[in-house]
Amino acid sequence: MYDVTHRESYKAASDWIKAINMNVGDAEMLLVGNKTDLQDRRQVRDMDGRNLAQEHNISFIETSALRNENIEEAFSMLVGNIMTKQPHTMRATSPSITLDIDEDEDEEREKRSCCLGRRH
């Protein structure tokens, strides 16, 4: 995310994208230009953000958190991109828990569970 009223934050976003690509690899990213409500102070054009996103093959959107513009759309876009890459299985992990959700295994899980899916 960068601030469209602050050119340096835009330049830093490019560095962050490169660092993520080097250290994480194939991470789903969304470049967000924020504070579009401050048009009179804009230092970064919409096209600059689009070009940066295209250069790194990532999605792009501009938002205004103050006006709640494109906030939900940004999250939906990111989640949609993630789901496109992993449509059937999502994996959430933490140091102590691994959770697999697979649509094909839902019925089998209900059969093995003592409580899930039973109606009284």
Q: What is the pLDDT of residues 98-117, one digit of tens each?
A: 445 455 555 554 444 444 44
**Inter-residue contact 29 to 58 (CB < 8 Å):** yes
Amino acid of residue 9: S
Strand partners, 98: 93
**Is the model's pLDDT at 74 over the cut of 50?**
yes
Residue with tokens 């992993």: 86
**Inter-residue contact 4 to 36 (CB < 8 Å):** yes
Q: Is the pTM of this model over 0.75?
A: no
Q: 112-115 — which CB contacts under 8 Å span 24+ positions?
A: none
Pick the CATH number of 2-86 from 3.40.50.1100, 3.90.1410.10, 3.30.360.10, 3.40.50.300: 3.40.50.300
pLDDT tens string 33-73: 999 999 999 999 999 999 999 999 999 999 999 999 999 99
User: Residue 85: pLDDT band by 50, 70, 90 thresholds?
Assistant: confident
CA-derived radius of gyration, the chain: 20
